[in-house]
Amino acid sequence: MSAYQNKTIWITGASSGIGEALALEFSRAGGNIILSGRRVDALTRVADSLPNDALVLPFEVTDYASLEKIVEQAWEYKGRVDVLINNAGVSQRSLAIETDPQVYADLINIDLIAPIWLTQLQLAKMASAGGAHIVAISSVAGRIGAPLRTAYSAAKHGLIGYMDALRSEVSLLHNIQVTNVLPGSVATAVSSNALTSDGSKRGRSDAQIDGGDSPADCAVAILEAVSANVPELIYAKGSELDLAKLRQTDPLKLFELTAEFGKTVAEKYE
């Protein structure tokens, strides 16, 4: 029997990138997939590509007035949610000194408050069902302060903090496990969809992202981490992995390196 046979996996941000790749991997493992995002056509395309049963459940993550109803629909699909993957989000590419404060409010709302809200609405249900697994797709930028990503780093740092604190409360008492995932550069549309200083989409990618790991490889690593109940997966390599590790081993060195790198980036950014 497949590892996730008869299990229900709910993935937000499932219409492309890491979310789409996760849907395929968990479906191949036997899971019934709930696909959420804003674009019904893209979600339907993903659903049609999966080898197992899937429900298209579109919603806007910051439409908090509708979330309780959305959660009820998700739980009615197969009677429970075994794995919740908070993957929906947006990145940033702008210098703090030039960025409108509203960009911070919008990005933190999408990347931090929305996954917290969606998670909170299900905790009691998960506890009553005997347990579940919550996955938060954060970022290496949730461990280090990355230039051009002040709002994004703030949100992703906060998401890790919430999930770590949540794990301390529910892992042993309610069998609700938590895995934080910190990807480095993965070849998705994250850079082209990133918010700029005025809140508009950047509209172009960059070489570091385009040369990143494949979403498929990232999804395989995430599935393996969830299956092994790994509390934190840093999915990165090279300097990104080294910097993420420095946050614990030598933070002063990290701050020195990021200051130098940030100065270079800021001087060249346009």
Marked catalytic residue, from 104, 152, 162, 235: 152
Task: Work out the burial of residue 173: count CB atoms within 10 Å of its CB; fewer than 13 is exposed, 13-18 middle, 19 or more buried.
Answer: exposed
Segment 244-258, tens digit of pLDDT: 999 999 999 999 999
Segment 166-224, tens digit of pLDDT: 999 999 999 999 999 999 999 998 999 999 999 999 999 988 899 999 999 999 999 99
Residue 191's CATH number: 3.40.50.720
What is the extent of the structural domain holding 141? Answer: 8-238
Residue 1 has pLDDT above 60, yes or no: no
What pLDDT score does 191 carry? 92
Q: Is residue 48 part of a domain?
A: yes
Angle, in degrees to the nearest 10, between helices 17-28 and 215-227: 50
What's the structural domain count of the chain?
1
Q: Is residue 124 part of a domain?
A: yes
- How big, in percent rounded to 5, are the helix, strand and coil portions of the chain? 50, 15, 35
Q: Is residue 252 part of a domain?
A: no
Q: Is residue 254 part of a domain?
A: no
Q: Is residue 247 part of a domain?
A: no
Task: Work out the burial of residue 156: count CB atoms within 10 Å of its CB; fewer than 13 is exposed, 13-18 middle, 19 or more buried.
Answer: buried
The Cα–Cα gap between 207 and 113 comes to 30
DSSP element (H, E) containing 176: strand 176-183
Active site annotation includes 152: yes
Q: Is residue 269 part of a domain?
A: no
Question: What average pLDDT does the chain have?
Answer: 96
Q: Is residue 185 part of a domain?
A: yes
DSSP element (H, E) containing 85: strand 83-86
Q: Is residue 29 part of a domain?
A: yes
Residue 23 has pLDDT above 70, yes or no: yes
Rg from Cα positions in the chain: 18
Fill in the amino acid letter for 204: R
